[in-house]
Amino acid sequence: MPRMPQWLETAVFYEIYPQSFQDTDGDGVGDLQGIIRRLDYVKDLGCTALWLNPCFASPFLDAGYDVSDYLQIAPRYGTNGDAKRLFEEAHRRGLRVLLDLVPGHTSWEHPWFKASMQAEKNEYTDRYIWTDCIWEEPAGCASLRGISPRDGSCAVNFFTHQPALNYGFLHPEKPWQQPMDGPGPLATREAMRDVMRFWLDLGCDGFRVDMAGSLVKGDPEGKGTVALWRDFRAFLDREYPDAALVSEWGEPDKSLQGGFHMDFLLPWGPTHYNDLFRCASPFFAGKGDASVFVEKYWASYEKTEKKGLICIPSGNHDMDRLARFIQGDSLKIAFAFLLSMPGAPFIYYGDEIGMRYVEGLVSVEGGYGRTGSRSPMQWDESENAGFSSAPKEKLYIPQDPSPDRPTAAAQCGDPASLRSEIRRQIAVRKTHPALQSRGEIRFVSDGAPGTPLSYERTAEGERVLVALNPADEARFCPLTGNVRKTLYQLGEAPAAEGGRLRLAPRSAAWLLLGESQ
């Protein structure tokens, strides 16, 4: 894997959904000036980096994941000058910024796609994946058909309005399927390199890459896509060696081979991530089973040669809010897990104050069931919770209407609040290498029914035992060394009993260990 930028080794990320964070011009939609206004809040929480969801020009049929101009900030968010100032203001505070790169598809309104629809051959003809005949669809995916003078059907990713960019096929089988080194795929690569150059030159620190494992078609084992990203990595190593790359892939053994520094653990597929947070009986609600998650996590961890660079987010714009399933001290214990695992943690805006999923909302900009997790940030008790001066009915998404909805202002002033607890956890993580991104992990107790979740983190000669018991009853785990110091504690202190550690109900502890017993 490539050399990791030093700042990424200790990073704690804060994900900002731009349209829902802070509105400064009264149109009901968040903007870049709003993010700049709230940078001190993010820094005070202890986060060291931002991930911004897409803020490029778009018709917003999929909340910006349908890009119509990769080189232009969407006017509703501001200008490219605002983006430059955001990077500068973030850096002045010691914060880094990742932009969300969507390389797999564009909007059907992108000029590249409009040119590719023309019957006459031009430089964009092969920028997308087209069959040779309108009556033939690309196998394995949906397509756009009958929308232009060009004969053929165009492959789409996800929504109908997202035509797939052409990075080639691993093993072409039909005349219209170009190899990875064909003229169309190579032109697409260079165009995406130009996009990266543009924003890195303006001051961003790297990219979180959307659906990074899906680019090369006919590639079920990911071999072609790994090779593709190695090529991107070589370009970055030559021109921008400090640019960070974090993938939404969900297969860290592949993404790290491809040159990514870290990979997101996805909530779908075989990870069992949702066993912990989002299911009928979440482990961190005190009534579930973490053991299958531990098994799957360990398998992924070993495939990365124990580099551990797997990001576990509190949530994101695609998931239900944590607080839909977990409340009260259980949320604090969940964050004691999130902030003590390997890889950089990602906190979704508002999760740090326990923002709730807003039920029953009509879909906004392709959100559908995800819309309730994208409601505007709740800053204080003022109009629209301090998010916007717009009339309530003009807000991008309706806010939580509950009179007891949590706010950042109230939690900043309460030392017992969720935000204050997370702030303490981050502060401890920052001062102990064993708890940071590269610290190794060894599970001690797997959270099977009747047991807690506990694990050792080690780095630079330091050993920390993390012991988590979200259950209503006391639980026991092995004590793997002499406890030198309690670094962090929630609830009643754990007690050593005959080589075991007794964990009180609904408690968490990070313990600095000495020699093994």
Per CATH, the number for 6-104+186-428 is: 3.20.20.80
Task: Please list, in sequence order, all residues whose beta carbon lies within 8 angstroms of the beta carbon of residue 68, skipping any fewer than 6 positions away.
Answer: 56, 57, 58, 59, 106, 107, 109, 110, 111
Residue 416: pLDDT above 50? Answer: yes
For residue 193, with 0-12 CB atoms within 10 Å meaning exposed, 13-18 middle and 19 or more buried, which class applies?
middle
- pLDDT digit string, tens, across residues 233-255: 999 999 999 999 999 999 998 99
Residue tagged 């949906």 (tokens):
142
Residue length of the chain: 517
Q: Are strands 96-101 and 143-144 parallel, antiparallel or unpaired?
A: unpaired
Tell me, what's the pLDDT at 139? 83
Of residues 457, 458, 515, 512, the one with CA closest to residue 489: 512
Distance from the first to the final alpha carbon of the chain? 36
**CA dist., res. 441 & res. 459, Å (int):** 9
**CA dist., res. 210 & res. 208, Å (int):** 7
CB 269 within 8 A of CB 322: no
**CA dist., res. 198 & res. 14, Å (int):** 23
Task: Please list, in sequence order, all residues whose beta carbon lies within 8 angstroms of the beta carbon of residue 484, skipping any fewer than 6 positions away.
Answer: 512, 513, 514
pTM above 0.85, yes or no: yes
**CA dist., res. 426 & res. 128, Å (int):** 44
Of residues 419, 400, 403, 423, the one with CA closest to residue 411: 419
Looking at domain 105-164, what is its CATH homologous superfamily? Oligo-1,6-glucosidase; Domain 2 (3.90.400.10)
CB atoms near residue 414 (< 10 Å): 11
* Region of residue 280 (left: phi > 0; alpha: psi -120 to 50; beta: else): alpha
Of residues 463, 465, 54, 513, the one with CA closest to residue 248: 54
Paired with 496 in beta bridges are 501
**CA dist., res. 510 & res. 490, Å (int):** 9
Task: Please list, in sequence order, all residues whose beta carbon lies within 8 angstroms of the beta carbon of residue 301, skipping any fewer than 6 positions away.
Answer: 308, 310, 342, 441
Q: Are strands 13-16 and 346-348 parallel, antiparallel or unpaired?
A: parallel
CA angle 313–316–319, rounded 5-degree value:
105
* Region of residue 77 (left: phi > 0; alpha: psi -120 to 50; beta: else): alpha
**CA dist., res. 132 & res. 196, Å (int):** 31
Of residues 347, 280, 337, 343, the one with CA closest to residue 316: 347
Q: What are the residue ranges spanned by the domains of the chain?
A: 6-104+186-428, 105-164, 439-513
Residue tagged 């004691």 (tokens):
336
Residue tagged 């130009």 (tokens):
194
Tell me, what's the pLDDT at 132? 96
Residue 268: pLDDT above 80? Answer: no
- pLDDT digit string, tens, across residues 25-36: 999 999 999 999
Continuous H helices in 156-222:
183-202
Tell me, what's the pLDDT at 18? 98
**CA dist., res. 359 & res. 350, Å (int):** 16
**CA dist., res. 372 & res. 401, Å (int):** 12
- pLDDT digit string, tens, across residues 462-505: 999 999 999 999 999 999 999 999 999 999 999 998 889 999 99
Phi, psi of 156, deg, nearest 5: -125, 150
Fold of 439-513: Immunoglobulin-like (2.60.40)
**CA dist., res. 378 & res. 341, Å (int):** 28
Tell me, what's the pLDDT at 421? 98
pLDDT band at residue 327 under the 50/70/90 scheme: very high
- pLDDT digit string, tens, across residues 135-155: 999 988 889 999 999 999 999
Q: What is the mean pLDDT of the chain?
A: 96
Q: What one-letter code names the amino acid at 101?
A: L
DSSP state of 4: P
Of residues 66, 93, 92, 73, the one with CA closest to residue 32: 73
pLDDT band at residue 517 under the 50/70/90 scheme: very low
**CA dist., res. 483 & res. 238, Å (int):** 47
Hey, what are 404's tokens?
């007891």
Residue 349: pLDDT above 90? Answer: yes
**CA dist., res. 42 & res. 50, Å (int):** 9
Task: Please list, in sequence order, all residues whose beta carbon lies within 8 angstroms of the beta carbon of residue 219, skipping any fewer than 6 positions away.
Answer: 169, 170, 225
**CA dist., res. 344 & res. 355, Å (int):** 22
Least confident of 264-273, 391-400, 408-417: 264-273
**CA dist., res. 362 & res. 397, Å (int):** 9
